[in-house]
Amino acid sequence: MIFKTNEIKKESTTDDLGNTINYVGMYNEKGNIWYEELKKFKKDTLKVMYNKDTLQVVSKSKDASFLAPTAVGDVIEEIESEDVAINPSQYFIGGKLVELQPYEAIKNGKIVFNKEFRIDEIKKELYELRLEYDAAPFEFEVGGKKYLQNNRSIDQSNLTRIVVMCQAMKKTEFENWKFYTKDGSEKYANLTLQDMMKMANIMQEHTTKAMATETLLTHNLENLTDEELKEYNSKDRYEKAYKNM
């Protein structure tokens, strides 16, 4: 059973007490009014209301009387489904409920893939992963003890500033550099100039590796098929490429 709104009329009737009742009459192409047609739908099916041009789902209900096709172009069709939740990304295509991804659109009643949009989306994900991996803490050993050192921009800047200061003042050691332990607590240790130079090199290596991983994956996107782009898992791809870098 399908109902397509073809005409809308403002109408009125009179109740048993002589009161005028105004209502909107929704008619299909055969001139049949919705209030009578809704009785023809099966009891247990899902009634889906969507726009005939955009195919976007407007509303859904098991009870047809809960739906109101009050715009020309509204279509109500019944299917076997338990999916009653409203989803703004859902469309009705080929008799099925379909949830579009951000990189998909409807054209001539079919789902089309927007490759450029998907590639830009993946690039943003890879950029965020690069920042995450770049700033991730690494283990650093001082005096036989291992600590965690963050690799944020501020950590690199502080270390560079301290190294320059120590060299200018001819100091060979910096006191109370703050590290972290695996449980998140703070620990302080004295660093030699050699320690600081070694740490600076590790920081730069991590930054370079994170950037190189992003660049490698980004440049390869244009070579992927549409299906590969649709199924692309940025986190998984980045992790594997980073380990092999």
Q: Which residues contact 96 (CB under 8 A, 6 or more apart)?
A: 79
Nearest to 106 by CA among 51, 186, 65: 51
| Alpha-carbon span 156 to 164, nearest angstrom | 12
Q: What does each of the 245 residues of the chain score in pLDDT, given as a tens digit?
A: 898 888 888 887 777 777 788 878 899 999 999 989 999 999 999 999 999 999 999 999 999 999 999 899 999 999 999 998 888 889 999 899 999 888 998 888 888 999 999 999 999 999 999 999 999 999 999 989 999 998 888 888 888 899 899 888 888 899 999 999 888 899 999 999 999 999 999 999 999 999 999 999 999 999 999 999 999 999 999 999 999 98
Report yes or no: 217 and 238 within 8 Å, Cβ to Cβ: yes
Q: pTM, whole model, 2 decimals? A: 0.69
Of 204, 220, 216, 219, nearest to 242 by C-alpha is 216
CA atoms within 13 A on the CB side of 117: 9
How many other CB atoms are found less than 10 A from the CB of residue 175? 9
Half-sphere exposure of 95 (CA within 13 A, CB side): 6
